[in-house]
């Protein structure tokens, strides 16, 4: 007696295609992974002070790591190395701030009125002289909507505007935690890494150390490259503002330096501030010169200098950088936009290192991987 076909249905309905069934299974798995990832991001957003402290500690620890290593080679004890390195950094930072802040503050006091006058000049040009049909009422509506968006961005998750006391308390708490974490990172960083690696099996420990080393190297390359690019851009743009007769050259140079740590958006912000300041304090022709210099400097850095400075430590396509910044700013605001590029660079470089490790193991065992097969075919 023939057995019934298990894929047939008594009501005459067609059986589910195996491809559709497989895609449905993967879809449910992706939905579950997405829920877990979303929950992790929500938790990080709630604990943003701890995340901020940890991120600042890692960045600061990486920046001070060469000094700490040099002191260790001289035979200093780990606690003394950490204390000396961190205290020296704070003293150096305090000295620079004491030298720079008075002049910067005196000039920054004019920056707000300067930008406000520049916006008024742009508004008058749009209403009176521009070829666009823009009325004064349209400009005022735009300003009102922009201010409303800024207020909404400053709202907390409970829907109320964060008070200045809460913000100051959280920032101070984050700074203290970051400094304490940096001290222990400089003192016990290697022991902490060994403790974490100890949770892995013996066969996975070498590759874990290799991946951690690649991430540490990538972060150092990002910090060195961004600082060098910011220094070059700040000197050129600030000097240009001063040469054409504009005021506030030092604040413009400082803004340009720190904006270099935020790709794309930082260049736009620094260039806009430099042009607007020059427009009010020097004139339209001088502002046009500063604009041309800003564009040329950014193109020179992005196309020629940045690949040389970053080298292989930061191999990111501009679309990946842009997507990372948008995602980071959406999830964690300005802090997320600042960390988007180094985190993406470390993740991609760690993935590349893991693939290289896999190819090396395959070459040792004589097994051809898809990558090696493709290279052989080429």
Which helix H or strand E contains 275, and what residues bound it? helix 265-281
* CA distances in angstroms from 196 to 60, 178, 199, 200, 316, listed in the order given: 21, 20, 6, 8, 29
Distance of CA 92 to the CA centre of its chain: 25
Residue with tokens 């920056």: 111
Q: Which residues contact 124 (CB under 8 A, 6 or more apart)?
A: none
Cα-only R_g, the chain: 27
Determine contact, residues 44/335, Cβ cutoff 8 Å.
no
The tokens describing 310, both together, are 């970053």
Q: Which stretches of 154-248 are DSSP H helices?
A: 164-197, 205-243
> Which residue in 368, 185, 264, 69 sits closest to 272, CA to CA?
264
Determine contact, residues 309/228, Cβ cutoff 8 Å.
yes
- Quick: pLDDT tens for 60-89: 888 888 889 889 888 889 889 999 999 999
Distance of CA 84 to the CA centre of its chain: 29
Residue 354's Cβ-count burial label (10 Å; 0-12, 13-18, 19+) is middle
Q: How far apart are the first and last CA of the chain?
A: 57
- pLDDT per residue, tens digit, the chain (378 aa), is 455 555 444 455 567 778 888 888 889 989 999 899 888 888 877 887 888 888 888 888 888 888 898 898 888 898 899 999 999 999 988 887 787 777 666 665 666 676 677 677 777 777 777 677 777 777 777 777 776 665 665 554 444 444 556 667 777 888 888 889 899 988 888 888 888 888 888 888 888 888 888 888 888 888 888 888 888 889 999 999 999 988 778 888 888 888 887 766 778 888 888 888 887 778 778 888 999 999 898 888 776 777 666 665 566 666 777 777 777 777 777 777 778 888 888 888 888 888 888 888 788 776 555 554 444 444
Our CA dihedral for 79, 84, 87, 89, rounded to 10 degrees, sits at -120
The most distant pair of C-alpha atoms in the chain lies apart, rounded to whole Å, by 100
Determine contact, residues 246/286, Cβ cutoff 8 Å.
yes
Return the domain boundaries, the chain.
202-372
Q: Given this model, what pLDDT does residue 31 score?
A: 93
Q: Given this model, what pLDDT does residue 376 score?
A: 47
| Local structure of 362: helix, strand or coil | helix
Q: Which residues of 108-127 are buried (b: 16+ CB within 10 A; e: fewer)?
A: beebeebbeebeeeebeebe
If phi over 0 gives left and psi between -120 and 50 gives alpha, with beta otherwise, what is residue 53?
Answer: alpha
Q: Which residues pair with 155 in a beta bridge?
A: 161
Determine contact, residues 165/47, Cβ cutoff 8 Å.
no
The Cα–Cα gap between 105 and 117 comes to 19
pTM for the full predicted model: 0.67
The Cα–Cα gap between 108 and 283 comes to 19
């Amino acid at each position: 007696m023939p057995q019934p076909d298990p894929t047939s249905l008594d009501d005459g309905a067609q059986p589910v295609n195996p491809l559709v069934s497989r895609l449905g299974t993967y879809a449910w798995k992706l939905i579950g992974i997405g829920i877990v990832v979303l929950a992790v991001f929500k938790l990080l957003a709630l604990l943003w002070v701890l995340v901020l402290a940890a991120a600042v500690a890692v960045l600061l620890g990486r920046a001070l790591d060469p000094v700490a290593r040099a002191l260790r080679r001289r035979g200093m004890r780990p606690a003394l190395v950490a204390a000396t390195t961190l205290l020296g950094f704070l003293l150096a930072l305090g000295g620079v701030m004491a030298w720079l802040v008075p002049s910067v503050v005196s000039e920054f006091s004019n920056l707000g009125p300067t930008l406000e006058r520049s916006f008024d000049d742009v508004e008058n040009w749009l209403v009176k002289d521009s070829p666009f049909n823009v009325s004064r009422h349209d400009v005022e509506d735009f300003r009102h909507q922009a201010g409303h968006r800024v207020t909404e961005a400053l709202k907390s998750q409970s829907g109320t505007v964060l008070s200045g006391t809460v913000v100051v308390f959280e920032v101070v708490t984050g700074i203290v935690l970051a400094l304490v974490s940096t001290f222990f990172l400089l003192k016990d960083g290697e022991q902490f890494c060994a403790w974490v690696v100890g949770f892995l099996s013996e066969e996975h420990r070498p590759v874990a150390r290799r991946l951690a080393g690649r991430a540490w190297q990538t972060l150092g390359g990002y910090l060195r490259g961004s600082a060098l690019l910011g220094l070059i851009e700040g000197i050129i743009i600030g000097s240009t503002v001063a040469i054409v007769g504009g005021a506030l050259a030092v604040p413009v140079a400082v803004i340009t330096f720190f904006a270099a740590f935020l790709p794309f958006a930082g260049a736009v912000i620094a260039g806009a501030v430099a042009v607007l300041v020059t427009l009010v304090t020097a004139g339209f022709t001088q502002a046009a010169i500063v604009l041309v210099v800003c564009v040329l400097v950014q193109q020179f850095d992005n196309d020629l200098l940045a690949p040389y400075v970053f080298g292989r430590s930061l191999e990111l396509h501009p679309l990946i950088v842009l997507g990372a910044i948008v995602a980071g700013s959406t999830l964690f605001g300005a802090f997320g936009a600042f960390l988007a590029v180094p985190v993406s660079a470390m993740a991609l470089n760690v993935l590349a290192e893991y693939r290289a490790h896999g190819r090396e193991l395959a070459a040792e065992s004589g097994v051809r991987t898809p990558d090696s097969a493709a290279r052989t075919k080429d």
